[in-house]
Copies of this chain bind each other. A is one copy, B any other.
Amino acid sequence: MTSFARNQWYVAAYGAEIGRELFGRTVCGEPILLWRTEAGEVTAMAGRCVHRRFPLSEKPSRLDGDRVVCGYHGFTYGADGVCVSVPGQQRVPRTARLASYAVKEQDSFVWVWIGDREAADESRIPRAPWLNSPAYTVVCGMEPLAARYGLLVDNLLDLSHETYLHGGYIGTPEVAETPIATEVDEGAGIVRVSRHMDDAACPPFYSESTGIDGRISRRQDIEYHAPCLYLLHSRIAPTGTPGPDADGTDPHAFHVEVVYAITPETENTTHDFWAVARDFALDDQKVSDFLAENNRTVVLQDVVALDTLEQVIAREPEGTQELSINIDTGGLAARRILARLLAESAATPAAQPTR
């Protein structure tokens, strides 16, 4: 039994990572082989040869047109995972096929469905349209985390840590001081956490990218779509600036959409995809470079802290207690939803990969 909810969509990669080279990534403990066909479609299949379990993403395994050739004994598979050739004999066993995954390229991500393939429903994939919109400029990256994914969910749902862990980057005293409002849609598996600061110091992340040099109105509106997608709608404007117009547009403020995809790799490691989309200074490479460098620094501060926490937790007796307060309302709701998704997927026996 893993501790990951199955029958869910997870981000396996950025689309830009997948090309005409075999690419391996483990999602929820499942090793997946990803590559792009000659027609440009992303394919995802089980990452181990059916013969002797050799990793198909490891050299000398290779792509030959739209076929994958295992680097150990040459078992050869089509884009659908079906084996088309084996060494030393003409007959290919009927059962020689790799499980293939439902896959969807959207909003710059490659989403894969972990679970029973028949249940895959692309309409359930949450959206992050800013990552693929001409109205926004995006910087992004992915950092490997040597910590269980729940620690990153906790981290992102409680931004009061910005004041302490990310002071001098994105944190100011007002973040930790300002109370939050939390809304939970248990059925849809969405947690919303908002913190609105009307008169706050402007941290370097925003002052240097927007050019604001006084105090700001700063809004953080989090939407977490369990299990994988985290959106932070960040609105920044000089203190006293009017709010959005009646028609919903908001020309007076700077908007930054911070997106994380939180993908479990194994029980104790996580893929930490991060992206920062902005609606200003669209063509300013200096701003892009600054935000990329600065956000990566912030993510790495989290990585160091969470990797440390993982070691702490791994060494503590099971059942060591935590003390939670108001700031944890969102994180606790996320844990509850994740536990429910896990229980639901555990109740559904996993379909055996076709092999």
Residue positions of A touching B, CB distance < 8 A: 31, 48, 50-55, 58, 60, 69-74, 86-89, 93, 95-96, 154, 158, 160-161, 163-165, 167, 176-180, 266, 305, 308-309, 312-313, 315-316, 320-327, 355
User: Do A321 and B164 touch across chains, with their CB atoms under 8 A apart?
Assistant: no
Q: How many copies of the shown chain assemble into the complex? A: 3
Name the one of B51, B87, B266 contacting A163, with C-beta atoms under 8 angstroms.
B87
Question: In the complex, what residues of B have CB within 8 A of residue A69's CB?
Answer: 164
User: Do B355 and A321 touch across chains, with their CB atoms under 8 A apart?
Assistant: yes
Cβ distance A145 to chain B, nearest Cβ, rounded Å: 15
What is the CA–CA distance of A87 and B266 in the complex, to the nearest angstrom?
32
25 A–B pairs (Cβ distance < 8 Å), ordered by A: A48-B312, A51-B322, A51-B324, A53-B312, A53-B313, A53-B316, A54-B308, A54-B309, A54-B312, A70-B164, A71-B164, A72-B164, A72-B165, A73-B158, A73-B164, A73-B176, A74-B164, A87-B160, A87-B177, A88-B160, A88-B178, A88-B326, A89-B179, A95-B323, A96-B323
The 5 A-B pairs of least Cβ separation, nearest first, read: A87-B176, A87-B160, A50-B323, A88-B327, A74-B164
Cβ distance A161 to chain B, nearest Cβ, rounded Å: 5
Given contacts A60-B165, A164-B69, A323-B96, contact A154 B52 (CB under 8 A): yes
Cβ distance A240 to chain B, nearest Cβ, rounded Å: 25
User: Do A312 and B158 touch across chains, with their CB atoms under 8 A apart?
Assistant: no
